[in-house]
Copies of this chain bind each other. A is one copy, B any other.
Amino acid sequence: MSDPRIITVRPGPGEYAWTFGGAPPVARIKPGTVLDLYTEDCFAGRVRSEKDLVSEVCDFPFLNPQTGPFYVEGAEVGDTVAVHFVSIEPARDWAASTTVPFFGALTSTHATATLQPPLPEVVWMWQLDLERRTCLFAARDSDVTVELPLDPMHGTVGVAPANLEVRSALVPDAHGGNMDTPEMRAGVTCYLGVNVEGALLSLGDGHARQGEGETCGVAVECAMNSVVIVELLKGVSTPWPRLESDGYIMSTGSARPLEDAFRIAQLDLVQWLARDYGLSQLDAYQLVTQGVESPLANVCDTNYTALAKFRKGWLPAGDPHRGLHQQLRETAARL
């Protein structure tokens, strides 16, 4: 007997959301629901060859389409929605990346504004080998090729923001959104604080892989078929998105300048250790200082995103988030 709570969503044109908040839910789901989702790439699928320049083929502001939002029944302000990524699989055997004028870390931008002209707009098409789990970089200006491991992830996952706001799907902030961390891969649970009734969860922006910081602003962008389980933690607040894998607990922060993103993530991790692992704040500060891993997620989006990771094997005894990650791993294994 199949689980009645598997919901499949394959949005057609015009059925995507472009914001967090402000879009009507595509479905109401009960906690525990399994979602089998198709997500389009950040270009809405319009960059399909080296000739497809974003500035010409894309229709601003209709970038970074989100599948959803989903209204999680029972979710109220102050609760936490957990999204467990069972699988994230490229839906095509190719993916695209590009420079975008005045966007990215190694160019001036509309915020870091200079009088210099933009970098050239260049598209790279990546070939994905889903059997061998690789993606192939082919240089544009030489015949160099490099094969990198496939490491599929979602750049964007979030809920409706607080403070009556509606944010573009390109923005990362306390509601999640476009955090662009390679840690958002299969096997991971993402915790998001609920800001509005029903949470209004959506996700998108699949990447076949990306480096830490997403330096040029664009990853190996790819449509995805993803299976996630959505759960609800009543009465647990989560001020900033947290992630949990089998090996790590992880806090995130999204802000500018980048040190503020770092501070938010590190403080959240310190407070997480203090709340769930029996340490005083100062003892947690010391332990985090010596044990934390601090990879960057993006240094190109509206806010920059930093992570603070702590290895579970190095934690004192504790029980974060009521053991939910382990339960979800077990549920996923049975699917």
Chain A residues proximal to chain B, CB less than 8 Å = 18-19, 21-22, 61, 97, 99, 105-108, 110-120, 122, 124, 135, 137, 139-142, 144, 146, 148, 162-168, 170, 209-220, 253, 255-260, 262-264, 266-267, 270, 277-283, 285-296, 299, 304, 306, 308, 314-316
Contacts and interface: CB of A to CB of B under 8 A. Distances in A.
Given A164-B168, A286-B97, A289-B97, A258 B255 contact: no
A314 B148 contact: yes
B111 A264 contact: yes
A238 to B, nearest CB: 14
A162 B259 contact: no
A260 B162 contact: no
Contacts of A306: 296
B168 A166 contact: no
Given A115-B267, A257-B259, 7 more contacts: A139-B279, A140-B280, A140-B286, A141-B279, A146-B314, A210-B290, A296-B306
Given A266-B213, A290-B137, A22 B166 contact: yes
Given A106-B113, A166-B165, A299 B259 contact: yes
Contacts of A144: 277-279, 283, 316
Given A105-B266, A115-B119, A295-B295, A282 B148 contact: no
Contacts of A165: 19, 165-168
A286 B216 contact: yes
Given A141-B280, A148-B291, A114 B107 contact: yes
A175 to B, nearest CB: 13
21 contacts: A22-B164, A105-B263, A106-B270, A111-B264, A114-B263, A115-B119, A135-B290, A140-B280, A140-B283, A140-B286, A141-B280, A141-B283, A144-B277, A144-B278, A146-B316, A148-B290, A148-B291, A148-B314, A256-B257, A257-B259, A258-B259
A293 B110 CA distance: 22
A119 B119 contact: no
Nearest to A139: B283
Contacts of A99: 282, 285-286
A176 B110 CA distance: 16
Contacts of A266: 105-106, 213, 215
